[in-house]
Structure 1
Amino acid sequence: MIEEWSQKIMEMFLERMREIESVKAPNMTYGFDLLKIGAIGERAEHGVPVTEIYGTSIKFPYFDELRFVPAMIAKKPVDPLEVNTQVRIGPKAKIPLRLPTPIMATAMAYGISISKEAKKAWGKGTALAGTACNSGDAGFYLPEREQAKYYIVQYNRARYGNREEELKQADAIEIRFGQASMGPLTETVESTDIDEELARHLNLEKGQSAMRPILHPEIKEGKSLKHIVENLRKIRDDIPIGAKIAAGNIEKDLDEIIEARCDFVTIDGAGGGTAGSPKVSMDNATIPLLFAIPRAYHYLVKKGVKENISLIAVGGLRDSGDYMKALALGADAVYAGQSALIAMVYSQLQKVPMGTSPAELYLSWGKHTDKLDWEAGAQELANFIKASTMEMAMLTGLVGKKDIKDVSVEDLVCFNQDIKAATGISLAWQPSNN
């Protein structure tokens, strides 16, 4: 009896296999995962470009390909407690940013990205960790400034939160040209999504949408980045002033940044997250940090300005291992984004229905933003930064260095010939020359 049933089941299976076109689903085809299929459906249903939260779901060469080389006998390890983790951003500025950690909280815009409560947590969490947070491209936001110890204000193309009295309260100014997930592209926040408080902050009339131009007004008029920097120095000539770019024409963009005498450059690599960017640019544009950081670092060295210009990396960095690898490749500091947001709300996930995205707790339009305990979130953000900094010290001591700034590509190996060619990192199967 069992043999007969087995035979029948096998015959049914073979019959279905012969009719495979009726059972094979799109998601069984390479590259057509549920997100891809869903995006196709969104375009078909609504007839407009698709936007997505977080970073790209596409996998490309990344920091997982790199490993640190432990010091044993020939090279002696260092006690992590003896490792220096302090950094300076804008070393030539009169008042450089002096931080106890290379980890900062990345740009998050009030109202356009995250909620008022989340912004306060962003400020207080970084203050508790002794580090800096970035205002995002809605500019200066007073409730965040009141909580933050060190505050980096983005000078954005729409000039939101960029009045002179607001810029004077910054500890650094970052001129935003774009970000990894959308390059220079812009987005519009419809008036129906703007409440009275946000409209007041953005200086919008009732019923007016928030629109950001693709170019800074000065650039549109034919002026240069140098002109923008010089005007900002008339407001604050003592703090670091830098530029943020998506990783693209790195060397040519750096020429402009060097000419403008910027104090730092922030490079956003592929994988960088967002509260909502076009899927087409998120999945198809921008160079990964694995290649962008070495290009930027070596070009600044070649031009003889690396000692004057700090290099900040952001874009898809997940944890202390990634942060430390970014520094080894040439960065001076990093921004934490998605990981920091996860840390901020991790213990509060039970407040939202099972299967709900954590983003519903911190996005300005989230369905559960009222449930966020921002002070608890601030403490956990601080804990994450402190723990990650200690782990970076552990990796630094592991390779036999006493200062995180001394860790370099010589302390790494890779598994890939292309990565070796791009970064100068030794292959894991070849004898070490160090």
Structure 2
Amino acid sequence: MLKRDNDVLRRAGKMVGLSTLGAAGIYVLGRLVFKRLVTQSASKILQEPYDRNIFEAYAMTKRMNPMTTVDTNLRAESGQPVMSFGTPFPMPSFEGIRFSPAQLYRFSTPQDVEIDTALVLGKKAAKPMKLDIPILITGMAFGNGLSKQAKLAAAEAATLAGTATNCGDGPFNAWERAAAKHYIVQYGRTKFNRDPNILRQADMIEIQFGHCGWVGLGSKYAWREFTPELRKAFALKRGEDLVYHANFPEVPKPQDLGRLITDLRNLTGGVPIGVKITCGHDIERDLALILEGGADVITLDGGQATSHWSPECIHDNFSLPTVSALCRAARFLDKEKVRDRVSLLVEGGLETPGDFLKALALGADGVEIGFVALVALLHNQEFKALPYEPPAQLLWYTGRYKNKFNRKEGAKYLANYLRACVEEMRLMTRGVGKTALRDVSADDLFAIDEMSAKIANLPLHYQSSP
């Protein structure tokens, strides 16, 4: 028995020794092979001319960024305009602006004092829309954007959080209307959403002259591209293409906007009538015409806004930065003395509670979110698509994984996100010594860079208070 145990131990020792020797051999051989590969590769890079040198690929990315390289290849492949979801290029934002804390010169708000977060849109309208919070879900269309489950999740989240959702430049849907306590119907540059029975179900009408991705451009989609479900939703007859006009047929000249606003106000019994515009350098002229038309709400779509599958050349080359558009619009409305009757909403690149409250301080009555809302909707569900497909494939109407999206979870997490943002906005409002979000103002801000100071007309951090 003892002899057999000794034999087993000897064999085990030999195996351990051979394994150790083998591992050492592999280690040494691996080092030699790796060194040879590195030496050969480095020699090629350091000796071959650029026309045959693989390092030229790196040099190309220094001259042309990777996104431009990909876009160039997509244009070469298709011969068609490249579509995208927003611009990646940096613009002035809210990051250069900070709040000034209240502590002794003025006190912060005690923790037992309630902070008012309410928002009223259409302050002088016969039927104003009253929301619990000033963060709205922006217009994202069913069909040519989101799936039914994604739209329902957004509507349910808005209801849970006490805010409004928007049908976007897609069709009105009875199931979305039923899920949303506050529902904005977009009156776009096409034939759908014109039925008086639809318009009367809206809590607010938004006349959409453009958004960042289309800036008032027209488009046409062949009826064959649509499923029977979408043809019914868009009220398309067999053989009828879907046409988005560049401009409103019922507004042949700017002065006709007032007639359209009046007609919609009378038809709906006095719900707020809003106008949504992309923000160009002539923004004050556009705003003057909107005020002349008698709108209750103005929505600014800034240059950092995203949209589903819009021309990249528009995203990357048009529109004012959101913070610039907001500051100019707020100053214009103040000058015209209309803030008591006209509400101002802003969207485009607003991603954090700090962004939201800074927008309110700079003159917005409320903010709208889109992209960041989709991120919240996807919480805990991203890996149903990753790593092989983008997570948005869970949300698009044409998405490969849309049937895997859990609507109830999406609604819960988006509502949680909205609640968390509002709570953080309350904290910051206490920090500047105010008792309502709407009372936070430019007096509570300063800038940490000269561009932000000039855009928002704020003192710089190294300047003393007057």
On the 8 A contact 2:136/2:368 being kept in 1, the answer is yes
Deviation of the 1:166 alpha carbon: 0.3
Tell whether 2:309 aligns with 1:280. no
Deviation (angstroms), 1:123: 1.1
User: 1:26·1:32 contact (CA, 8 Å) conserved in 2?
Assistant: no
Match of 2:219 among 176, 187, 193: 187
> What residue is the counterpart of 1:57 in the other structure?
88
Shift of 1:383: 0.9
Confirm or deny that 1:178 pairs with 2:178: no
Q: 1:223 to 1:19 in 2, by over 3 A?
A: closer
Q: 1:18 to 1:261 in 2, by over 3 A?
A: closer
Distance 1:31-1:326 versus aligned 2 partners, 3 A rule: farther
- Asked if 1:320 corresponds to 2:353, the answer is yes
Instruction: Say if 1:91 and 1:308, in contact at 8 Å, map to a contact too.
Output: yes
Q: Is the 8 A contact 1:103 1:336 kept in 2?
A: yes
Deviation at 1:182, TM superposition (A): 2.3
Q: Which residue matches 2:371?
A: 338
Shift of the 9–422 alpha-carbon distance from structure 1 to 2, 3 Å rule, reads closer
The answer to whether structure 1 residue 347 and structure 2 residue 366 are counterparts is: no
Which residue number corresponds to residue 385 of structure 1?
418
Call closer, same or farther: CA 1:96–1:57 in 2, change over 3 Å: same
Residue ranges of structure 2 left out of the alignment (5+ in a row):
1-35
Deviation of 1:17 (Å): 8.2
Contact 2:97 / 2:452 at 8 angstroms: preserved in 1?
no
Q: Which residue of 1 aligns with 2:323?
A: 290
Q: C-alpha distance in 2, partners of 1:27/1:52? A: 26
Residues 22 and 135 of structure 1: CA distance in aligned 2, closer, same or farther (over 3 Å): same
CA shift in 2, pair 1:224/1:30, >3 Å: farther
Question: In 2 relative to 1, CA 100–5 (structure 1 residues): closer, same or farther, beyond 3 Å?
Answer: closer
Question: Residue 146 of structure 1 corresponds to which residue in structure 2?
Answer: 178
User: 1:116 — aligned with what?
Assistant: 148
Equivalence for 1:233: 265
Shift of 1:138: 1.5
Report the alpha carbon displacement of residue 400 of structure 1 after superposing the two structures with TM: 1.4
Evaluate the alpha carbon distance shift between residue 143 and residue 5 of structure 1 in structure 2; reply closer, same or farther with a 3 A threshold.
closer
Structure 1 unpaired stretches of 5+ = none
The aligned length equals 430
| AA of the residue aligned to 2:109 | V
What letter matches 1:67 in structure 2?
R
Give the percent of matched residue pairs that are identical in Structure 1 and Structure 2. Answer: 34
Partners of 1:91 and 1:222 in 2: CA distance: 24
- TM-score, normalised to structure 2, is 0.87
Q: 1:370 to 1:31 in 2, by over 3 A?
A: farther
Q: What residue number does 1:69 align with?
A: 100
Task: Measure the CA separation in 2 of the matches of 1:43 and 1:22.
Answer: 24
Partner of 2:190: 158
Shift of 1:10: 7.5
Q: Cα gap change, 1:168/1:12 in structure 2, threshold over 3 Å: closer, same or farther?
A: closer
Give distance in 2, aligned partners of 1:182 and 1:402. 39
Q: What CA distance in whole angstroms lies between the structure 1 residues aligned with 2:304 and 2:63?
A: 18
8 A contact 1:108–1:135 mirrored in 2: yes
Tell me the equivalent position of 2:163.
131
1:261 match: 294
- Partner of 2:75: helix, strand, or coil? helix
Instruction: Give the partner amino acid of 1:264.
Output: V
Partner of 2:71: 39
8 Å CA contact 1:181–1:270 kept in 2: the answer is no
Give the direction of change, closer, same or farther, for the CA distance of 1:203–1:13 in structure 2 (3 Å limit). Answer: closer
The one-letter code sitting in structure 1 at the alignment partner of 2:360 is: L
CA contact (8 A) 2:223 2:239 kept: yes
Counterpart residue type for residue 72 of structure 1: Q
1: CA distance, partners of 2:364 / 2:458 = 15
Q: Show the 5 A alignment for 1:191-270.
A: 191-220=223-252, 224-248=256-280, 249-270=282-303
Q: Distance in 1 between matches of 2:389 and 2:42?
A: 41
Cα distance, 1:432 vs. partner?
2.5
Range that drifts further, 356-365 or 25-34: 25-34
User: Which of the residues 100, 111, 126 maps onto 2:132?
Assistant: 100
Q: 1 CA distance for matches of 2:62 and 2:134?
A: 39
Q: Could you tell me which amino acid in structure 1 is paired with residue 433 of structure 2?
A: G
Give CA deviations for 1:267-301 in whole Å, capped at 9, x if unaligned: 00011011111000000100011111111111011
Provide the residue aligned with 2:115 in structure 1. Answer: 83
**TM-aligned CA distance change 1:10 to 1:109, over 3 Å:** closer
Q: Return the letter of the residue paired with 1:177.
A: F
Contact 2:231/2:237 (<8 A) preserved: yes
Matched AA of 1:225:
L
1:190 positional shift: 3.6
Q: C-alpha distance in 2, partners of 1:375/1:342?
A: 15
User: Closer, same or farther in 2 for the Cα pair 1:366/1:187, shift >3 Å?
Assistant: farther
TM-score (normalizing by structure 1):
0.93
Matched residue SS, 2:380 = helix
DSSP 3-state at the match of 2:377: helix
Deviates more, 1:406-415 or 1:324-333: 406-415
1:189 to partner: Cα distance: 3.4
Q: Distance in 2 between matches of 1:265 and 1:178?
A: 12
Q: Say if 1:240 and 1:20 are closer, same or farther in 2 by CA, change over 3 A.
A: same
Determine if contact 1:139/1:159 at 8 Å carries over to the other structure.
no
Alignment correspondent of 2:443: 410
The reply to whether residue 430 of structure 1 matches residue 463 of structure 2 is: yes
Q: Deviations over 1:77-131 (max 9, x none)?
A: 1146621111111101122111111001000111011111111111111001111
1:48 alignment partner in structure 2: 80
Q: 1:409 to 1:16 in 2, by over 3 A?
A: farther
Assess, with a 3 A threshold, how the Cα gap between structure 1 residues 239 and 370 changes in structure 2: closer, same or farther. Answer: same
Flag the 1:424–1:188 CA change in 2: closer, same or farther, 3 A: same
- Larger mean CA deviation between 221-230 and 315-324 belongs to 221-230
- Give the letter aligned to residue 314 of structure 2: S
SS at match of 2:250: helix
Q: SS where residue 245 of structure 1 aligns?
A: strand
Partner of 2:11 in structure 1? none
Post-superposition shift, 1:356? Answer: 2.3
Secondary structure at the counterpart of residue 237 of structure 2? coil
Offset at residue 18 of structure 1 (A): 7.7
